[in-house]
């Protein structure tokens, strides 16, 4: 009998014939055994599939490794199944709910909420390693809804999920040894792929994130392809703890929080110095780039938020109140206020582009469980700007914002990646034509910018597509900060217009953009990026002056005054402590320079300066001032 052949197309457009029912893993092996050992999942005809799944039709194929998001997701989702199986072996009385992959590993939610404690982690890890050693295959099977209801009849959480599925939908399950789970997949070929694993922590969670539902226990884990990779990750976590902005923020006296204002930071004097230096830099760049700066009210009426669409799409995150029996909301975004400023007068095409920036205070109701230092707060300042322009200016203006982002982030040594997010499947506003034109405008600008970008389908704002900017800090962690949103819908909803060269009323196009994003969050990122050791130009305390003995105090005061008169930020420590103790305190405060004044300095009219590398150099005071001024200018 002649076996049926199918044709497979590879990413380089090369085509090759294989026998029907060939697996993606066999195709990978045909490329090379080494390649096959490193791939984790495949995409066939734009759908992710298990490497072991038979392929019955011709089509295109692409393979993913651990370095790819798709590969990482498959690896960690499969690891979540192994974790669930290991937990079942340790405690047979638990009920499983869901277990997805997350940014750094995976978790599985179980009932009851006190099933495991810290001592159980070792037992779970032992069972996990046994399952890995057994090299158990992930076996996929399709079943009917009625079969699924029977199979999971003792698990009310799985039953709830199944009942919500359409009657005629085919349901997939995966079997790993004696463990069976409801899952779409895809998964790794077998458990042996997960070479290294650790239970990280547990926390409380609610079924489907609803506090009226059962409280569950969330067990977090992380896994890698080797022990070295796991150990490197754990070392990274330890370094991240040492850089924790919440700890350094207190230690450096930058900011604090109060039970009387959950999720709302209090910035201290030193924190405000840092803040103001960042804002001075921001204002300088924006002034050079032709922006005008405005300020709009913090509270606006419900009618405005209905015009903008926020009342319908964002109300659950807004703080609302009544004034004179009318509904008002504290603004969660600055754009409607910026639009009202635009509408205060008529505009000509000759004025465009109009670039309007606002450092606006916004409030968003975040759940208490997700509040996290400066990274997730309930009130914050956005470095918003809105650009109003003609359609023929879209590409040029998007490129202008991208170049401004490049200038800003490069100053801090922050690398970044770009993502294009397109129209959400549900809840968006505006016509298909507007969305298509807006998306095309962003795509053309990204191609012209030449940095490359990732497509993120369906993750746009409800009013328009956007470019998200993900910065990478010194530990390699990614943070979403900047965003550029192209909007043709709010100008329509607010009836914005300008007069064109033919004296006709035309609808402008609008860009929403932030660069720092949330100022508070950006400061938190900088604290951890620099481990508190800020560059000279933004550091709240640049120099700490220490005296060796009381006889040096008059000279210390003279030096301090000269430094302050030169515009440098100085603190003094003349306390009756040992010099070594004073130095330790100054180092913990992350100052750039420690100035230690003694007899020799007094005699020779010099200053002895210790830098962060513990190198001590003696300067004439005027030479040291010139050096620091040059350092600040060269940095910016």
Active site residue 251: no
Q: Which of 89, 423, 466, 544 is catalytic?
A: 466
- CA distances 536 to 48, 273, 577, Å, are 49, 12, 27
Q: Which of 183, 335, 379, 481 is catalytic?
A: 335
Q: What is the β-pairing status of strands 454-456 and 415-421?
A: parallel
SS3 343: coil
DSSP state of 383: E
Q: Which of 140, 423, 512, 590 is catalytic?
A: 512
What are the residues whose beta carbons fall under 8 Å from the beta carbon of 461, sequence distance 6 or more? 421, 485, 487, 512
The alpha carbon of 243 is separated from its chain's Cα centroid by a whole number of angstroms, namely 17
β-pair partners for 456: 421
The alpha carbon of 571 is separated from its chain's Cα centroid by a whole number of angstroms, namely 35
| Distance between CA atoms of residues 105 and 585, nearest Å | 38
Taken in order 309, 315, 319, 321, is the CA torsion positive or negative? Answer: positive
Active site residue 29: no
What are the residues whose beta carbons fall under 8 Å from the beta carbon of 422, sequence distance 6 or more? 439, 455, 456, 457, 458, 459, 460, 465
Active site residue 466: yes
Active site residue 512: yes
Active site residue 500: no
Q: Which of 158, 381, 386, 395 is catalytic?
A: 386
Q: Which of 77, 245, 364, 590 is catalytic?
A: 364
Active site residue 335: yes
| Distance between CA atoms of residues 7 and 351, nearest Å | 58
Q: Which of 382, 393, 485, 542 is catalytic?
A: 382
Strand segments (E) across 331-453: 354-363, 379-389, 415-421
The secondary structure of 491-505 as a DSSP string is: HHHTT--EE-TTS-E
Residues 538 and 531 sit within 8 Å (Cβ to Cβ) = no
Q: Which of 73, 109, 384, 601 is catalytic?
A: 384
Active site residue 364: yes
CB atoms within 10 A of CB 526: 21
Nearest one of 507, 571, 481, 529 to 244, comparing CA atoms? 529
By annotation, the residues acting in catalysis are 335, 364, 382, 384, 386, 466, 512
């Amino acid at each position: 009998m002649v076996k049926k052949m199918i044709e497979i197309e590879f990413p380089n457009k090369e085509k090759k014939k294989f026998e029907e029912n060939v697996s993606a893993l066999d195709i990978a092996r045909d490329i090379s055994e080494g390649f096959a050992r490193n791939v984790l999942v495949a995409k066939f005809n734009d759908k992710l599939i298990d490497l072991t799944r038979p392929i019955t039709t011709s089509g295109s194929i692409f393979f993913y490794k651990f370095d790819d998001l798709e590969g990482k997701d498959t690896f960690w989702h499969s690891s979540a199944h192994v974790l669930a199986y290991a937990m079942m072996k340790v405690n047979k009385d638990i009920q499983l709910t869901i277990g997805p992959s997350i940014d750094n590993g995976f978790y599985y939610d179980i009932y009851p909420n006190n099933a495991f404690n810290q001592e159980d982690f070792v037992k779970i890890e032992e069972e996990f390693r046994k399952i890995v050693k057994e090299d158990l295959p992930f076996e996929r099977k399709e079943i009917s809804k009625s079969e699924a209801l029977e199979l999971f009849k003792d698990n009310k959480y799985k039953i709830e999920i199944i009942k919500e599925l359409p009657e005629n939908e085919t349901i997939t399950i995966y079997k790993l040894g004696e463990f069976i789970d409801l899952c779409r997949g895809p998964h790794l070929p077998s458990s042996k792929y997960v070479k290294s694993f650790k239970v990280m922590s547990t926390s409380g969670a609610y079924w489907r994130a609803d506090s009226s539902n059962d409280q569950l226990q969330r067990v977090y884990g992380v896994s890698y392809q080797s022990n070295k990779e796991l150990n490197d990750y754990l070392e990274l976590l330890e370094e991240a703890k040492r850089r924790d902005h919440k700890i350094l923020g207190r230690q450096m006296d930058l900011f604090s929080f109060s039970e009387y204002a959950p999720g709302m930071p209090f910035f201290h004097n030193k924190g405000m110095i840092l803040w103001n230096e960042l804002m001075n830099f921001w204002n300088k760049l924006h002034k050079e780039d032709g922006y005008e700066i405005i300020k709009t009210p913090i509270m606006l009426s419900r009618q405005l938020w209905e015009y903008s669409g926020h009342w319908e799409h964002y109300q659950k995150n807004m703080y609302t109140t009544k004034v004179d029996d009318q509904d008002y909301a504290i603004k969660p975004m600055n754009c409607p206020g910026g639009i009202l400023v635009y509408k205060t007068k008529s505009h000509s095409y000759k004025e465009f582009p109009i670039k309007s920036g606002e450092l606006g205070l916004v409030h968003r109701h975040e759940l208490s469980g997700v509040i996290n230092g400066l990274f997730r707060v309930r009130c914050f300042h956005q470095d918003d700007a809105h650009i109003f322009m003609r359609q023929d200016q879209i590409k040029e203006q998007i490129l202008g914002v991208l170049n401004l982002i490049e200038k800003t982030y490069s100053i801090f040594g922050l690398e970044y990646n770009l993502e294009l997010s397109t129209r959400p499947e549900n809840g968006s506003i505006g016509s298909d034509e507007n969305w298509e034109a807006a998306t095309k405008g962003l795509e053309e600008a990204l191609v012209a910018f030449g940095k490359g970008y990732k497509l993120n389908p369906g993750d746009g704002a409800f009013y328009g597509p956007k470019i998200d900017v993900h910065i990478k800090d010194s530990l390699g962690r990614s943070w979403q900060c900047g965003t550029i949103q192209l909007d043709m819908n709010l100008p329509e909803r607010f009836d914005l217009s300008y007069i064109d060269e033919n004296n006709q009323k035309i609808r402008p196009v609008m860009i929403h953009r932030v660069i720092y994003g949330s100022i508070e969050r950006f400061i938190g990122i900088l604290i951890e990026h620099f481990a508190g050791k800020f560059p000279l130009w933004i550091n709240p305390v640049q120099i700490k002056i220490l005296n060796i003995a009381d006889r040096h105090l008059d000279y210390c005061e003279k030096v301090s005054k000269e430094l302050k008169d030169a515009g440098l930020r100085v603190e003094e420590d003349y306390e009756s402590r040992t010099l070594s103790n004073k130095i330790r305190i100054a180092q913990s405060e992350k100052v750039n320079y420690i100035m230690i004044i003694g007899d020799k300095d007094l005699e020779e009219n010099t200053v002895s300066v210790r830098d962060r590398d513990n190198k001590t150099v003696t300067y004439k005071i005027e030479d040291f001032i010139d050096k620091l001024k040059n350092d600040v200018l060269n940095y910016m």
